[in-house]
């Protein structure tokens, strides 16, 4: 009986970690990782020091207008941390530039607020 209780508790405690790993494997239309945040799907795309968050409807992956959105990312990697403010760019993107290129192994934490006032955070690994 003791072993059954231990097995059940182990499964319960490990369930959230399984959910986190499965969630971050979805790729967006532009090839970047996607995360659900604040009622939208956010896709991270980086190029050099440019950070772009493309915004999509989670039900059908259609672009969502970023008019009225605000956001920022915290870039942590190589012993340095930097906060980058994101501004609406184009139809469905938020964009900003870091001081340095975004290197492999960096962690990017997005904080976003939608035009409807919903806010949330998502973490991406590079």
Strand partners, 46: 51
Is 1 a member of any domain? no
Which is it for the CA torsion 89, 92, 104, 79, positive or negative? positive
Is 8 a member of any domain? no
Is 102 a member of any domain? yes
Contact between 31 and 44 under an 8 Å Cβ cutoff? The reply is no
Distance CA 51, CA 54 (A): 10
The total number of structural domains that make up the chain: 1
Closest residue by Cα to residue 97 from 77, 119, 75, 125: 75
pLDDT of residue 23: 45
Q: What is the pTM of this model?
A: 0.79
Kindly report, residue by residue over 53-93, the tens digit of the pLDDT. Answer: 999 999 888 999 999 999 999 999 888 899 999 999 999 99
Is 99 a member of any domain? yes
Is 109 a member of any domain? yes
Is 47 a member of any domain? yes
Closest residue by Cα to residue 69 from 109, 31, 35, 120: 120
Boundaries of domain holding 85: 27-125
């Amino acid at each position: 009986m003791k072993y059954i209780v231990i097995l059940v508790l182990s499964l319960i405690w490990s369930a959230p970690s399984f959910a986190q790993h499965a969630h971050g494997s979805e790729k967006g239309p532009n090839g970047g990782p996607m995360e659900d945040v604040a009622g939208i799907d956010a896709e991270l795309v980086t190029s050099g020091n440019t950070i772009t968050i493309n915004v999509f409807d989670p039900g059908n992956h259609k672009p969502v207008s970023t008019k009225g959105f605000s956001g920022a990312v915290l870039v942590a990697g190589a012993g340095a941390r930097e906060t980058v403010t994101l501004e609406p760019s184009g139809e469905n993107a938020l964009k900003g530039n870091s001081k340095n290129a975004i290197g492999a192994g960096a962690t990017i934490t997005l904080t976003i607020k939608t035009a409807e006032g919903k806010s949330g955070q998502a973490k991406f690994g590079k």
